[in-house]
Structure 1
Amino acid sequence: MNFYLHKDAVKYEGPNSQNALAFKWYNPSQQVMGKSMRDHLRFAVCYWHTLCWPGGDPFGGETFNREWHHMADPMKAAEVKAELMFETLRLLDIDYFTFHDLDIAPEGKNLQEFNANVSAIAKILEKQMAKHNKKLLWGTANMFSNRRFMAGAATNPDPDVFAYCAAQVKHALDVTHGLGGENYVMWGGREGYETLINTRIGHELHQAGRFLSLVVDYKHKIGFKGPILIEPKPKEPSTHQYDYDVASIWGMLKSYGLEKDVKMNIEQNHAILAGHTFEHEIALASSLGIFGSLDLNRGGYQVGWDTDQFAMNVPELTLMMLEVIRAGGFTTGGMNFDAKIRRQSIDPDDLLHAHVASMDACARGLLNAAKIIADGKLDAEIAKRYSGWDKPENKAMLDKGASLDAIAARVHKDKIEPQPRSARQEYLEGLLNNV
Structure 2
Amino acid sequence: MTNFFKDIPAISYVGPDSDKEFGFRHYNKDEVVLGKRLEDHLRFAIAWWHSFAWEGGDPFGGQTFERPWHPQDSMKTARIKADVAFEMFRILDVPFYCWHDADVRPETGNFADNLKTLNEITDYMLEKQVQTGVKLLWGTANLFSHRRWMAGASTNPDPEVFAFAAATVKSCLDATHKMGGENYVLWGGREGYETLLNTDMKQELDHMGRFLNMVVDYKHKIGFKGTILVEPKPQEPSKHQYDYDAATCFGFLQKYGLEKEVKLNLEQGHAILAGHSFEHEIATAAALGVFGSIDMNRNDYQSGWDTDQFPNNVPEVALAYYEVLRAGGFTTGGTNFDAKIRRQSIDPADLILAHMGAMDVCARGLKAAAALLESGEMEAARKERYAGWDTPAAKTMLGSSLDAIAADVLAKNIRPEPRSGRQERLENLWNRFV
Taking structure 2 as the reference length, the TM-score comes to 0.98
- Give 1:373 shift: 1.2
Distance 1:301 1:7 in 2: 32
State the partner residue of 1:108: 108
The question of whether the paired residues in 2 share the 8 Å contact of 1:234 and 1:244 is answered with: yes
The question of whether the paired residues in 1 share the 8 Å contact of 2:29 and 2:37 is answered with: yes
1:207 aligns with 2:194: no
Letter of the 1:434 partner, please give it. Answer: R
State the partner residue of 1:161: 161
Letter of the 1:216 partner, please give it. Answer: V
Distance 2:402 2:218 in 1: 45
Letter of the 2:415 partner, please give it. Answer: E
Distance 2:396 2:171 in 1: 51
Distance 1:420 1:7 in 2: 60
- Give 1:55 shift: 0.5
- Give 1:244 shift: 0.4
How big is each residue's C-alpha offset from its partner over 1:353-373, in whole Å with a ceiling of 9 and x where there is no partner? 000101000000111111111
State the partner residue of 2:131: 131
Equivalence map 1:83-122=2 (5 Å): 83-122=83-122
Q: SS of the counterpart of 1:45?
A: strand
Equivalence map 1:270-289=2 (5 Å): 270-289=270-289
Q: SS of the counterpart of 1:317?
A: helix
- Give 1:188 shift: 2.5
State the partner residue of 1:182: 182
Which of 417, 420, 425 is the aligned partner of 1:419? Answer: 417
- Give 1:88 shift: 0.8
The question of whether the paired residues in 2 share the 8 Å contact of 1:183 and 1:228 is answered with: yes
Letter of the 2:160 partner, please give it. Answer: D
Distance 1:349 1:290 in 2: 37
- Give 1:378 shift: 1.2
State the partner residue of 2:51: 50
The question of whether the paired residues in 1 share the 8 Å contact of 2:308 and 2:340 is answered with: yes
Equivalence map 1:118-267=2 (5 Å): 118-267=118-267
Q: SS of the counterpart of 2:407?
A: helix
1:356 aligns with 2:364: no
Distance 1:403 1:88 in 2: 62
How big is each residue's C-alpha offset from its partner over 1:322-367, in whole Å with a ceiling of 9 and x where there is no partner? 0000010000000000000011111111011000101000000111
- Give 1:64 shift: 1.2
The question of whether the paired residues in 2 share the 8 Å contact of 1:227 and 1:263 is answered with: yes
Q: SS of the counterpart of 2:331?
A: coil
The question of whether the paired residues in 2 share the 8 Å contact of 1:5 and 1:349 is answered with: no
Distance 1:239 1:119 in 2: 34
- Give 1:6 shift: 3.8
Distance 1:382 1:11 in 2: 39
Which stretch shifts more, 412-421 or 267-276?
Answer: 412-421
The question of whether the paired residues in 2 share the 8 Å contact of 1:101 and 1:172 is answered with: yes
- Give 1:74 shift: 1.1
Structure 2, unmatched stretches of 5+, are none
- Give 1:77 shift: 0.7
Q: SS of the counterpart of 1:185?
A: strand
Distance 1:416 1:210 in 2: 51
Aligned-pair identity in percent equals 58
Distance 2:155 2:323 in 1: 32
The question of whether the paired residues in 1 share the 8 Å contact of 2:10 and 2:90 is answered with: yes
- Give 1:237 shift: 1.0
How big is each residue's C-alpha offset from its partner over 1:3-53, in whole Å with a ceiling of 9 and x where there is no partner? 113443200011001111100000000000000000000000010000011
- Give 1:149 shift: 0.5
Q: SS of the counterpart of 2:414?
A: coil
Distance 1:217 1:336 in 2: 26
Letter of the 1:244 partner, please give it. Answer: Y
Letter of the 1:17 partner, please give it. Answer: S
Distance 1:339 1:92 in 2: 15
Size of the aligned set, in residue pairs, is 432
Letter of the 1:197 partner, please give it. Answer: L
The question of whether the paired residues in 2 share the 8 Å contact of 1:6 and 1:349 is answered with: no
RMSD value, Cα: 1.0
Which stretch shifts more, 133-142 or 154-163?
Answer: 154-163
Distance 1:6 1:295 in 2: 30
Distance 2:131 2:251 in 1: 43
Distance 2:396 2:193 in 1: 45
The question of whether the paired residues in 2 share the 8 Å contact of 1:55 and 1:342 is answered with: yes
1:15 aligns with 2:16: yes
Taking structure 1 as the reference length, the TM-score comes to 0.98
Q: SS of the counterpart of 2:70?
A: helix
Letter of the 2:63 partner, please give it. Answer: E
- Give 1:382 shift: 0.7
How big is each residue's C-alpha offset from its partner over 1:54-77, in whole Å with a ceiling of 9 and x where there is no partner? 101011111111121137x61111
State the partner residue of 1:67: 68
1:297 aligns with 2:301: no
How big is each residue's C-alpha offset from its partner over 1:305-330, in whole Å with a ceiling of 9 and x where there is no partner? 01000011000011111000001000
Q: SS of the counterpart of 2:348?
A: coil
State the partner residue of 1:431: 429
Distance 1:66 1:46 in 2: 17
Distance 1:395 1:13 in 2: 54
How big is each residue's C-alpha offset from its partner over 1:195-234, in whole Å with a ceiling of 9 and x where there is no partner? 1111101111111111101100110100011111000011
Q: SS of the counterpart of 1:184?
A: strand
The question of whether the paired residues in 1 share the 8 Å contact of 2:8 and 2:349 is answered with: no
Distance 2:52 2:164 in 1: 27
